[in-house]
Amino acid sequence: MTVLDLPDFPWDSLAPDKARASAHPDGIVDLSVGTPVDPTPELVRRALAEASDAPGYPQTIGTPELRDAITGWFARRRGVTIAAEAVLPTIGSKELVAWLPTLLGLGAGDIVGIPAIAYPTYDVGARIAGATPVVVHSLTGLGPLTSATTPRLLWVNSPGNPTGQVLGVDHLRKVVDWARAHDVVVASDECYAELDWRQDQVGQATPSILHPDVCGESHEGLLALYSLSKQSNLAGYRAAFVGGDPALIARILEVRKHAGMMMPTPVQHATAVALQDDEHVQAQRAAYGRRRERLLSAVRRAGLRVDQSEAGLYLWASRDEDCWRTVSDLADRGILVAPGSFYGPLGERHVRIGLTATDERIEAACARL
């Protein structure tokens, strides 16, 4: 039996610090994860209930209602024109991140390029497939390219987790041009796209890999992933989707049909309803914006430098010391954060501080800082 070469689940190592933070007289402020804490919008809960009589199997490709909602969302929120056959619902975006190399047929001897500071599941997905994850610091980060060193799949994450960095049109265009020249599939994880904090910019401020300014009129070799967990508080629904190159979507769909990887029918309807309503998204964005403003000021007053963090749900902060020392100090104040080392060696002097706590807990953190 082959044993998968997977790293230890990083959050398990936070247990001692979590215990110390939990001992604070006023309780823990857990800012270590990106789990939404606000209520799921009422219109989405109603939609889920309306579709709860679902005795038959779901459609792997998604209902026509859902595919229309996804293509409409791409056009309205991302400036992307995409056909209904070029989109596909997924059971959360982490599921697709973890299984995409396998779904694309990658295996032993294949390379998956991942960002230098990145969500750990890009690495894990390569390992599940039996492929080799390789950190790509830049477009030339792999050195001289040969058939044995060129990745078959390259991950891009913008806005980034944990850094909050946003890649601009020019950068993304260079990635696409390079990938197409070397026959590399680019998968762009864009699940924080609605949470761009740059001045006076909302929604489409973060460019998509599928935008014509980035890739021209063709989506060949490109995939964009999106999740409703952050924008709509639907982490518990596992509501996400992928869109892009129709040929790649067809390959992914074929495997998913055989494997029974289907978004439940009630969730498909709820997802469609959520995607057609921008009002609740803007309300949630405003709530995170208020929390970010309060926490950002407090973190800086406490002597931490905040780098990048242009978008998303985290502050990428540093005291120019080992990240675990910062984690320990904050745990003594009853605040739990994630060490930057979870996201690669380049994160070892940073911590990731989440905005995903109630207003009351954010205020408690600010007071303690």
Strand, helix or coil at 3? coil
In this predicted structure, what is the pLDDT of residue 149?
Answer: 76
Residue positions counted in the chain: 369
For the four alpha carbons of 43, 44, 45 and 51, in that order, the dihedral sign comes to positive
What pLDDT score does 203 carry? 46
Instruction: Write out the residue limits of the CATH 3.40.640.10 domain(s) in the chain.
Output: 53-277
- DSSP one-letter code for 208: P
* Residues of the chain with confidence (pLDDT) below 50: 202-204
Is residue 97 a contact partner of residue 120, using CB atoms and an 8 Å limit? Answer: no
The pair of structure tokens assigned to 71 is 């293509």
pTM of this prediction? 0.93
Residue 141 pLDDT:
55
Residues of the chain with CATH 3.90.1150.10: 10-39+280-368
pLDDT of residue 143: 53
Contacts of residue 147, defined as CB under 8 A and 6 or more positions apart, other chains included, come to none
User: Reduced to 3 states, what is the DSSP secondary structure of residue 140?
Assistant: coil
N-term to C-term CA, the chain: 50
Q: Which CATH class is domain 10-39+280-368?
A: alpha beta
Strands 185-189 and 222-227 turn out to be: parallel
Nearest to 42 by CA among 358, 359, 274: 274
The answer to whether residues 240 and 191 touch, using CB atoms and an 8 Å cutoff, is: yes
**Nearest Cα to Cα of residue 346 among 169, 213, 184, 162:** 162
Candidate CATH numbers 3.30.460.10, 1.10.10.10, 3.40.640.10, 1.10.390.10; the one for domain 53-277: 3.40.640.10
At 71, phi and psi to the nearest 5? Answer: -65, -35
